[in-house]
Amino acid sequence: MSSSSQPREQWASRLGFTLAAIGSAVGLGNMWRFPYLTAENGGAAFLILYILMVFVLGLPIMLAEFVIGRGAKKSPIQALEHYGGRAWKPVGIAFVVTGFVILSYYGVIAGWTLRYAGRAVLGGFPGSAAERFQEYSGGGDAVVFQVLFMAITIGIVMGGIKKGIERTALILMPLLFLIVVGIAIYAATLNGAGGGYRFYLHTDFRDILSLGVLTQAAGQAFYSLSLGMGAMLTFASYLSGDANLPRQSLIISVSDFAVAFVAGLMVFPLIFALGLSGEVGESTIGALFISLPQAFSQMGSAGPPIGLLFFVALIVGALTSAISLLEVVTASTMDSLGWSRHKAALGTGVVITALGIPAALNLDVLGAMDALTNNLLILVGALALAVFVGWIMPDATREARKGAESTRWFPVWRNFLRFVAPALLVLILIRGVPAALDALRALLGGGGG
């Protein structure tokens, strides 16, 4: 009965782990959230700040998650307890709660992408893109597509690490890379693409001299790298032997950044080439879902196939990320309650889907859930992880060294986690906490009114 009597599942190959972790990282965050935040915060200046956040702050914290996960070979709650004692259990529980919240609204946006892909197959995007988005992003139909997406996610996680998660990543991630690069190349051939590049890559540093933008960039970096709630920790817990964890962290961070960067190279030229730049300036959650289909509808015969490929890439990204979120919750439930994988994935998946229904019905709820997780929960989670590996976990450096070639950097890394990362994260939270509280207040007020 108890899951501890069975041997822990493992990845079949190192590549499987790497692609599954990249699959977790690459998702709606790269192709929807990153372009929209970049547009909102003045283009290239945000890009530069974002690069800094990914490589200076994100990468060391990813390594911290890997070290805990591979060292303990347990899901987050038990892993933190293993090294830190009972006092750290609530932090693990908070990670699982964060997974619930992120996945419940993530499944909603992913449902939109399914529906847009279906629309492309059925002949394209005629009519008013704004009206279509309104129709797609609210009401009972949105729930139908959300449930469909969640059912696929649950099915894959029920399949287990090797046969479900790893196999999906091995097949789908190469497809995603091809599509994103292909569309970016196609977009470069369009007349007027230059305006998009100028917008994306022209730097004005005045835009980023604010704590608010720093908070956004950091939150986005953690979100995009799937950090701060034990997703990477859980994936590393299925590693056998001595993977080179610093190298894995670097490969995953670079790949994740590359997809976000190339997503900008596909989105902005497409939108500018078709004269839709006005909609980029006033970017909101829905902007890409409005301006891109609009662009596809104005592209003539190329529109539906390009649109279909674009939404397939979004679906693939969303699916491999949703899998990792559900795996955190599933693995924790298996380890904590002794449930089977099938029961845990199905049971928690259904609850998460139900929690997402308010977000499917109301865009403001969705925005508030997004702000709450990104401005607060995963930042606090990252802070806890830095403190845990910096100060609490015994032998963190020794575990990190296993399988690594150069060992020079490990003391620097540990001191970074001890002092620099917590200081930076506290600074970032100074803005993140009020933003998240505002979102929460709007959510509660909006829900009542």
Q: Is 43 in the site for ligand TRP (CB under 6 A)?
A: no
Residue 100 vs 125, nearer CB to ligand TRP: 100
Residue 161 vs 299, nearer CB to ligand TRP: 161
Q: How far is CA 380 from the centre of its chain?
A: 16
Contacting range for ligand TRP; rule: CB under 6 A; set: 172-180, 181-189, 224-232, 384-392: 224-232
State the chain's maximal CA–CA distance in angstroms. 63
Residue facing ligand TRP at closest CB distance? 29
In the block, tokens 């399914």 appear at 114
Range 86-105, binding ligand TRP (CB under 6 A): 102
Q: Is 263 in the site for ligand TRP (CB under 6 A)?
A: no
Among residues 261, 248, 233, 243, which one has the least CA distance to residue 382? 233
Among residues 85, 74, 38, which one has the least CA distance to residue 287? 38
Question: In degrees, to the nearest 5, what angle opens at C-alpha 392 toward C-alphas 391 and 393?
Answer: 110
Q: Cα dihedral angle (98, 99, 101, 104), rounded to 10 degrees?
A: 180
In the block, tokens 């049971």 appear at 347
Sign of CA dihedral 264, 268, 271, 273: negative
Q: Is 313 in the site for ligand TRP (CB under 6 A)?
A: no
Residue 116 vs 223, nearer CB to ligand TRP: 223
> Nearest approach, Cβ of 355 to ligand TRP (angstroms)?
16
Residue 54 vs 193, nearer CB to ligand TRP: 54
> Nearest approach, Cβ of 324 to ligand TRP (angstroms)?
5
| Cβ proximity of 166 and 22 under 8 Å | no
Q: Is 266 in the site for ligand TRP (CB under 6 A)?
A: no
Residue 183 vs 263, nearer CB to ligand TRP: 263
Contacting range for ligand TRP; rule: CB under 6 A; set: 3-11, 25-33, 68-76, 435-443: 25-33
Residue 28 vs 400, nearer CB to ligand TRP: 28
In the block, tokens 């009519």 appear at 127
Range 112-151, binding ligand TRP (CB under 6 A): none
Range 316-335, binding ligand TRP (CB under 6 A): 321, 324-325
Amino acid, single-letter form, for residue 351: V
Q: Is 29 in the site for ligand TRP (CB under 6 A)?
A: yes
Q: Is 215 in the site for ligand TRP (CB under 6 A)?
A: no
Among residues 169, 220, 142, which one has the least CA distance to residue 327? 169
Q: Is 28 in the site for ligand TRP (CB under 6 A)?
A: yes
Binding residue for ligand TRP, selected from 168, 226, 237, 253, defined by CB under 6 A: 226
Amino acid, single-letter form, for residue 398: R
Q: Is 168 in the site for ligand TRP (CB under 6 A)?
A: no
Residue 160 vs 317, nearer CB to ligand TRP: 317
Binding residue for ligand TRP, selected from 27, 71, 92, 264, defined by CB under 6 A: 27
How many CB atoms lie under 10 A from the CB of residue 98? Answer: 24
Collect all residues with Cβ–Cβ distance below 8 Å to 358 and sequence separation of at least 6. Answer: 365, 447
Binding residue for ligand TRP, selected from 378, 382, 396, 428, defined by CB under 6 A: 378
Binding residue for ligand TRP, selected from 36, 112, 149, 223, defined by CB under 6 A: 223
**Phi/psi of residue 187, each to 5°?**
-60, -30
Detail the DSSP E strand segments found in 262-406: none
Residue 153 vs 294, nearer CB to ligand TRP: 153
Amino acid, single-letter form, for residue 192: G
Binding residue for ligand TRP, selected from 110, 117, 193, 229, defined by CB under 6 A: 229
Among residues 251, 318, 238, which one has the least CA distance to residue 62? 251
> Nearest approach, Cβ of 206 to ligand TRP (angstroms)?
28
Residue 11 vs 100, nearer CB to ligand TRP: 100
Q: How far is CA 138 from the centre of its chain?
A: 22
Total site size for ligand TRP, rule CB under 6 A: 17
Contacting range for ligand TRP; rule: CB under 6 A; set: 10-18, 21-29, 151-159, 236-244: 21-29
Alpha-carbon distance 198 to 268, whole Å?
A: 9
DSSP string, 49-62: HHHHIIIIIIHHHH
Alpha-carbon distance 310 to 293, whole Å?
A: 10
Amino acid, single-letter form, for residue 175: L
Q: How far is CA 371 from CA 45, 257, 366, 437, 438, in A?
A: 22, 21, 9, 9, 9
| Cβ proximity of 429 and 380 under 8 Å | yes
Residue 39 vs 273, nearer CB to ligand TRP: 39
> Nearest approach, Cβ of 160 to ligand TRP (angstroms)?
18
Q: Is 276 in the site for ligand TRP (CB under 6 A)?
A: no
Residue 23 vs 124, nearer CB to ligand TRP: 23
Kindly list the residues in this chain that would bind ligand TRP in the complex (CB under 6 A).
24-25, 27-30, 102, 223-224, 226, 228-229, 231, 321, 324-325, 378
